[in-house]
Chains A and B, each alone.
Chain A
Amino acid sequence: MKPSYPDISDILARKAAARRERAQRSFAEKIASVEALRERVEPLRKAREATRIKTGGHSGRR
Chain B
Amino acid sequence: MASIKMSDTLRVLNRLQAEGVIGTYAIAGAIAAFRHIEATLTDDLDLLVSIKAQGGLALVMLEPIFARLRAWGYSEFRLEGIVIEGWPVQFLPVASDLDAEALEQAENIELSLGTPEASVRTRALRAEHVVAIAVKVGRPKDFVRIHQYLEEEAVDLDALRGVLVRHGLKDRWQGFCKRTGVADPIFG
Contacts and interface: CB of A to CB of B under 8 A. Distances in A.
Given A33-B39, A34-B39, A37-B41, A27 B4 contact: no
Interface residues of B, number: 23
A27 B109 contact: yes
Given A26-B112, A28-B113, A19 B38 contact: yes
Given A28-B111, A32-B2, A22 B31 contact: no
A23 B37 CA distance: 5
A31 B43 CA distance: 12
Interface string A8-40: 000000000001101101111111111101100
Given A23-B152, A26-B112, A31-B4, 15 more contacts: A22-B38, A23-B37, A27-B35, A27-B109, A28-B113, A31-B34, A32-B1, A32-B2, A34-B31, A34-B41, A35-B6, A38-B41, A41-B41, A45-B43, A61-B79
13 contacts: A23-B36, A23-B37, A23-B38, A27-B35, A27-B109, A27-B111, A30-B35, A31-B34, A31-B39, A32-B1, A32-B4, A34-B42, A41-B41
A29 B1 contact: yes
Interface in B32-80: 34-43, 79
B38 A35 contact: no
B37 A31 contact: no
Central interface residue in A25, A30, A35, by most chain B CB within 10 Å = A30
Interface of B: 1-2, 4-6, 31, 34-43, 79, 109, 111-113, 152, 154
A37 B5 CA distance: 13
B60 to A, nearest CB: 23
Contacts, number: 52
Contacts of A38: 41, 43
A47 to B, nearest CB: 15
A56 B79 CA distance: 16
Nearest to B33: A30
Nearest to B36: A23
B169 to A, nearest CB: 23
Given A19-B152, A20-B152, A23-B152, A28 B38 contact: no
A12 B31 CA distance: 26
Instruction: Return the 9 tightest CB-CB contacts between A and B, nearest first.
Output: A30-B39, A23-B38, A22-B38, A30-B34, A37-B41, A32-B4, A27-B35, A23-B152, A31-B6
